[in-house]
Amino acid sequence: MQTRQVPIDSGFDARTTAREVLKGIDLSGKTAIVTGGYSGIGLETVQALAEAGATVVVPARSMDKAGAALGGVAKVELDELDLLDPESIDRFASRFLANNRPLHILINNAGISGNPLTRDSRGYESQFSANHLGHFQLTIRLWPALMKAKGARVVTLSSRAHEDAEVDFADPNYLHRPYNKTLAYGQSKTATALFAVALDRRGRELGIRAFAVHPGAVLTDLIRFMSDDELQAWGLTRDLKHGSAPAGLSVDEGGIFKTLRQGAATSVWCATSTQLDGMGGLYCQDVDVAKILGPEATSGTGVKPYAIDPVRAEQLWNLSEQLTGLELSIAKTA
């Protein structure tokens, strides 16, 4: 088990915002890619990085929606990408690599949650496909640009939902078991945490470090598939503004819900902070390295051991290579 998966007392907390994390940091000359960077937490992440001087490329399935959200933000570039379409991922990566520029920061932020059973063109369950396999393929395809940075970070969003399910390596795509949208989402977020462990092992000698992030409870478009009963269980109604919680439910008032700016903070910290130099393969939340939860704990303020287990991480990597048909050859790319 990873001995460095312990809080480092960063000086930040759940109320910290992305801009507070970046105070005094100059990202001029750095290039970042943020998937899902035109709504919710991703939009706040892009704005904060761009304000700090980075050039931020935002892949978008809807170019019109992305343009409307980011039209006034300087140092932002838009390009087409659909994480459920392997050919779209390859085309995006090829266009980026053709510019021959380094990639200093890759934030795998996009995701879907709790949707009815749908599948990509290969027959893979959509939450596992978009949240994990799409980002796996994107990261592998962008590997040459990450190496060119000579010091890059890959940040992939996980979730407290990883506590709901381990990865079912025998049937990750719900071909032989009843579909459960909650467990499918949990499985995908356990996968993103394990991905960071396996990726960091492959990249650390090349200066590429990887982190998984739980952004906290944030009201975004991801709640659109929740039923009224599910919303009521959280003290919410259908009529709410994404990114802000009703009075008494916000983290600033002792509740659990963060603002979008607070939700983006841990991603930005993992992508830029010198506090994490020499570290990687870690699960982070509330702008710090998370603690390891005991087997029976369900506090939501840490990570389950199975989500950072190096043996499971390698098992997931091998499965991901099989499902995508991709292989990362360190010897050829080093």
Active site residues per annotation? 185
Q: 101, 145 in Cβ contact below 8 A?
A: yes
Q: Which residues, including other chains, have CB under 8 Å from residue 302's CB and lie 6 or more apart?
A: 285, 290, 291, 292, 293
- Measuring CA to CA, how many Å separate 246 from each of 43, 240, 242? 21, 8, 10
Q: 156, 198 in Cβ contact below 8 A?
A: no
Q: Which residues, including other chains, have CB under 8 Å from residue 6's CB and lie 6 or more apart?
A: 289, 291, 292
Q: 148, 203 in Cβ contact below 8 A?
A: no
Strands 257-258 and 217-218, how do they pair? parallel
Q: Which helix (H) or strand (E) covers residue 44, if one does?
A: helix 40-51
